[in-house]
Amino acid sequence: MISVSDISVRLSGRQVLHGLSFDAIPGALTAIVGPNGSGKTTTLKAVSGEISPSAGRVTINGRDLASLKPWELALKRGVLPQSTVISFPFTVREIVRLGLSAGVDATSHDRIAGQALEAVDLAGFSGRFYHELSGGEQQRVQLARVLCQIAAPVVDGEPRYLLLDEPVSSLDIRHQLTIMGLARQFCAGGGGVIAVMHDLNLTAMFADEIVMMKAGRIRARGAPKDVLTDATMEAVFGCRMRVNVAPAGGVPFVLPQSAAM
């Protein structure tokens, strides 16, 4: 379990997060949603260990983040950044294999890297240059790299985690579904996923737990049907709109057409 307890974060003198607490349990997809600038990415950075909170603490499988070395963390969680610009001409294969750690024999390297590219629907791209790909393809290459680092959802009985910062932001609708399905599959295998999301409908479809943020605080938390309500939509996004429920499965959905600004 990743446990965030009462963390506050200051960035260049300004307090960005105010006493956040939530848990992300293995086997579940936890989505962080909220308006622009509400602190979603900062929260993910605090969970990844990239920035250390000024107060409170984050634990991963019971270990305090601050006590773990970078390589120990890298075995427990993989992080997909929003976008990655590279100034050197790496091929897709070379980028993906950066995620493989040393020590595993080379034959399984090839297998893991191949499976990762296949999983993100980029089989056959390994000889292409990264900088010549589209934004969405680059994002999927990065995800394949993360999947190389965290290939199995559970290792030695210990669950591992994927931290995804807007994993589907620049993808077409088919690949949005592919990637979210991949995250679900990782959860089904016993791992945990924390994803910063913008698309509320995909969130409602795929998330088990939603953490809804506004201005550096958690405003609502729980299952999609409990969090995505007319009241929270207006309170958090400042957007008066109707949340509806699809007949099959009871998944809520939001139509922007219903908004009254």
Residues that bind another protein (CB under 8 A): 45, 48-50, 69-75, 78-79, 81, 84-95, 98-99, 101-102, 126-128, 131, 149
Residue 230: CB minimum distance to another protein, A: 37
The enclosing H or E element of 164 equals strand 161-165
Closer to another protein by Cβ: residue 112 or 210:
112
What's the rounded Cα separation, in Å, for the pair 119 and 141? 10
CB of 195 to another protein, least distance (A): 15
Using CA atoms, how far apart are residues 32 and 21, in angstroms rounded to an integer? 12
The two tokens of residue 19 are 């006493």
Q: Minimum CB separation from another protein for residue 20, in Å?
A: 20
Q: Which is nearer to another protein, 98 or 246 (CB)?
A: 98
Question: Least distance to another protein from the beta carbon of 10, Å?
Answer: 14
Looking at residue 81, the DSSP 8-state letter turns out to be -
- Cβ 48 to another protein, closest distance in Å? 6
- Whole-number minimum distance, CB 138 to another protein, in Å? 11
For 43, 61, 159, 220, the CA distances from 226, given in Å and listed in that order, are 22, 27, 27, 9
Residues 145-175 as b/e (b if ≥16 CB within 10 A, e otherwise) read bbbbbbbebeeeeebbbbbbbbbbbbbeeeb
3-state class (DSSP) for residue 102 = coil
Report how far residue 109's alpha carbon sits from residue 117's, in angstroms, rounded to the nearest whole number.
12
Q: Which is nearer to another protein, 133 or 241 (CB)?
A: 133
Nearer to another protein, 74 or 251 (CB): 74
- Both tokens of 77, joined, read 């969680």
Among candidate residues 193, 174, 175, the one with its CA nearest the CA of residue 183: 193
Tell me whether residue 90 or residue 253 sits nearer to another protein (CB atom): 90
CA angle 26, 184, 31 (to 5 degrees): 70
In the complex with another protein, which residue's Cβ is closer, 161 or 237?
161
